[in-house]
A and B are shown apart, each in its own frame.
Chain A
Amino acid sequence: MTDHEWLAAAGPYALGVLDREEQAGFEAHLAGCAGCRAEVQAFREVAGLLAHGAPAAAPPAGLRERVLAEARQVRPIGRRGLPGPWLAAAAALVVALGAGAGAWRTARRAAALEREIAARDSMLAALLGPEVHVVSLASTGRAPSARVFWNQRQASFVVTAFDLPAAPAGRTYQLWAIAKGSAPLSMGTFNTDARGRAVVMLPADSAITRLGTIDLCGLTEEPAGGSPQPTEQPRLVGTWRHTD
């Protein structure tokens, strides 16, 4: 899809009516397109006003006190952009609220949520770190696409991929860090789901962290378990750049 075609998706996206796959594609595009972000923001205001189009209904008398009473139970989460610990606090809070809010939410579900949140928490921490580098991988600017975030301090990568058909049985995708003048180093393996999507976190080994500068990042398809060196030309390739 061209950038111009994506622009047309901004309104439906803001309204919340894009189909799941289109939404994932648009969100991947959105990360790198200020024009579409501005368009989404404008349409979000339109969508917000649509709430006034619903038939008038007076809130029940007890609702105001309920809202205020619930607020007394929790403290607001700290400001945007604060590093580190608030993530853990936020996760704990979400779990606490999840466990108490409804009868159908069992303790088991809370425990599963806690694990899920802990995993997401460490992924967020890797993404939001102060020294995160990012690389966008593409073939010719069209789908499939992938993005790799490199948190040097934590020695971890977060990989997101879209419209990348899952590698067949017995095969896997493998990422390579390429520094000028040295052989590609494996960053790890992953596969996409049936919808061609993946969001995974890969730990970086010491050989990678010692590299210092990584110039390029490439993606190949390899036998399951990965290869010591790439066995084909990269299907996707990208240049590292710093996030601001």
Chain B
Amino acid sequence: MERADAVTPDRVLVQRMQAGDERALAGLYDRHAATAYGLAMAIVREAADAEEAVADAFAQVWRTAGQFDPGRGSVAAWLATITRTRALDLVRARGRRARALDRAALGNPAGVATPLAAVDATDRGVERSEARALVAGALAALPEPQRIVLELGYFGGLSQSQIASELGEPLGTVKTRMRAALEKLRAVLAPQIAEGSR
């Protein structure tokens, strides 16, 4: 990645993409591909599917750059939403369950997310490793039942009632845990979100 690209805000790159600027797409890829690929790998079972999901997601971002509205959220959140949706679509098209469900299941309290201690210190790009540490910390701080519900939903692609039957818990309990988890994450991640929306 060129040094100059490191300071160009995401939304400016997306603006340039509207005009067909491939270098802007390359810049966005260099900044977000590792996060998108990690997310896809947590959801799908085969590396080839993760690759497909990420390629599809960037293709969609490229095609629909003109419809991106910076007033409604960050590029990173937009890309994450698209990548998650693409990855879950692929898993469903294969008639399978998300990979995350194996590890997030009750039998494995370690969950999906990276343990705090294992956050990759050698991550390229200081910003990204800061985000990783912050999110890993926020997830680790959640009570385990809340974290499990959140991970089954986000990485496992289950709806709240599917989570309830997966865990054998009442739907109301799942909803309460989900909301509590989301509220805590929102509070802890607020500074990062303010920074990301610059």
Contacts and interface: CB of A to CB of B under 8 A. Distances in A.
A and B are partners in one complex rather than unrelated chains: yes
B17 to A, nearest CB: 6
Contact of B66 (A17, A66, A71, A78): A78
A76 B178 contact: no
A42 B22 CA distance: 30
Nearest to A63: B51
Interface residues of A, number: 49
A56 B112 contact: no
B66 A56 contact: no
B173 interface: no
Given A45-B74, A48-B81, A63 B22 contact: no
Nearest to A75: B20
Interface in A47-103: 47-60, 63-64, 66-68, 70-72, 74-80, 82, 93, 97, 101
A12 B76 contact: no
B113 A53 contact: yes
A82 to B, nearest CB: 8
A55 B41 contact: yes
Contact of A77 (B64, B134, B154): B64
B185 to A, nearest CB: 5
A139 interface: no
Contact of A53 (B58, B83, B136): B136
Interface in B60-107: 62-69, 72-74, 76-81, 83-85, 93
A56 B34 contact: yes
B42 A55 contact: yes
Interface in A1-57: 8, 11-12, 15-20, 41-57
Given A16-B154, A59-B34, 10 more contacts: A12-B178, A16-B153, A45-B196, A53-B132, A55-B41, A56-B34, A57-B41, A59-B37, A59-B51, A76-B64
